[in-house]
Amino acid sequence: MELRLATRGSPLARWQTDHVAALMRAAAPDLTVEPVVVSTMGDRRLDQDIWQLGGAGVFVKEVQAAVLDGRADAAVHSAKDLPSNPALAAPGLVLAAVPERGDPRDALVGGALADLPPGARVATGSTRRRAQLADLRPDLTFTGLRGSIATRLDTVAGGEVAAVVVAAAALERLGRQDEAAEVLRPGVMVPQVGQGALAVECRADDADVRALLAGIEHRPTRRAVDAERGFLASLGGGCELPAAAFAVVDGDGAGRLAALLATLDGRLVLRTATTFGAADDPGAAGLALGDELLERGGGRALLADEGAVTLPA
**Residue numbers annotated as active site:** 81
- Classified as helix, coil or strand, 222 is helix
**What is the Cα–Cα distance from 116 to 135, expressed in whole angstroms?**
15
Query: Which residue type sits at 313?
Result: A
- Residues 277, 208: contact at Cβ < 8 Å? no
Angle at 109 between CA 108 and CA 115, to 5 degrees: 70
- Classified as helix, coil or strand, 189 is coil
**What is the Cα–Cα distance from 126 to 242, expressed in whole angstroms?**
8
- Residues ≥6 apart with Cβ < 8 Å to 1: 28, 30, 31, 32, 208, 212
232: closest CA among 11, 7, 55? 55
Q: How does DSSP assign 61-128, residue by residue?
A: HHHHHHHHTTS-SEEEEEGGGS--SGGGSPTTEEEEE--------EEEESS-GGGSPTT-EEE---HH
